[in-house]
Amino acid sequence: MKILVYGAGIQGSFLAHSLINESNEVTLLARGKRKKELLTNGLILNHSIQRKQTKNTVRVIETLQPDDQYDLIFVTMKYSDFPAIIEPLAKNSSSTILFIGNQLEAAALEKELQEKSSQPKRIYFGFQMTGGTNTEKGISVLRFGKGKMKVGSLHTDFAIAQMLDDVFRGTNYAWSYDPKIDDWLKSHAILVMIQNSFEYVYGPSPAKIRKSGDFSAVSIAMRDAYNLLELSGAEVLPKGQRNFFSRPRLTKLFFSIYYRLPISSLVQGSFREIYHLINTFERYQISENSQLDALLQSAKKKYEHSS
């Protein structure tokens, strides 16, 4: 299977590492410093929980040309980067594309890509259950057990199932189908948006967050954000997550414990991506929510002043 992983950050690098075997011809799209690292040192990953390092040799390209043909393209760019990659994806002759990552506007993204493409694309969405950090010492991956991915379509047709079975056969990786992937992605994006905004305002370190973070405010903000999502017609998924975060006292307890655990320092995100998620989410703001508005606006202003 000829596969392109479009993006060589934490998510894309781990996915490429997981896919490499005798049956798959894997290519990573990377630019700048990351491209040079891959060409010079190979694909090196430090697995935090497993306490091991892996190294793979992988083919690297810098741009996707119109005549580059792949059986499947995994797009692992950040939410804020999706608009910039529509043109090269639309011009490329490959027909099957799977967007991986935070997403609040899957339908709009799919519509724009289809409209700009000269031939119909089969477009899917998913999320990889991994995190990590990217430092000067390299990429550290945070995962529990083997790699996992949740995948779905905005339509009833899910013709990619056999292809995914073939792609992941012989790898230490599992994928699962979610018939409500759009709602699931929106629910997860809101969780990430609220938590990262909280960390950005009160961080950067877990110790500083524990000392100055307003856990009551972030707990109420989480509840109100999910309420707005439901008012828009989406279902908060998984349901257990909705039940948990609808109780501010329980959410407050969770965050107060989480930022005392070592795992809280093993996950890193880009606030540029969160900033764009906030801008999109503001379209859901049909009523005033003081704690939610205060948190998101504080995070936005801090980011804008630092840019």
Per-residue pLDDT of 42-77, as tens digits, reads 999 999 999 999 999 999 999 999 999 999 999 999
Q: 171 vs 4, 141, 165, 241, CA distance in Å?
A: 17, 17, 10, 30
Query: Could you tell me which residues come within 8 angstroms of residue 297 by beta carbon, excluding any fewer than 6 positions away?
Result: none
Whole-structure pTM value? 0.95
CA–CA distance, 240 with 277 (Å, rounded to integer): 23
Q: What is the pLDDT of residue 269?
A: 78
CA atoms of 230 and 236, how far apart (whole Å):
7
CA–CA distance from 91 to each of 71, 78, 96, 162, 193 (Å)? 15, 20, 13, 26, 32
Low-confidence ranges of the chain (pLDDT < 70): 286
Q: Tell me, what's the pLDDT at 286?
A: 67
Model pLDDT, residue 232: 92
120: cis peptide before it, omega within 30°?
no
Q: What is the CATH number of domain 2-179?
A: 3.40.50.720
Q: What is the pLDDT of residue 134?
A: 86
One-letter amino acid for residue 154 of the chain: L
pLDDT for the residue 146: 86
Please report the pLDDT score of residue 225 as a whole number: 94
Q: Is the peptide bond before 238 cis (omega within 30 degrees of 0)?
A: yes
Tens-place pLDDT, residues 198-253: 999 999 899 999 999 999 999 999 999 999 999 999 999 999 988 999 999 999 99
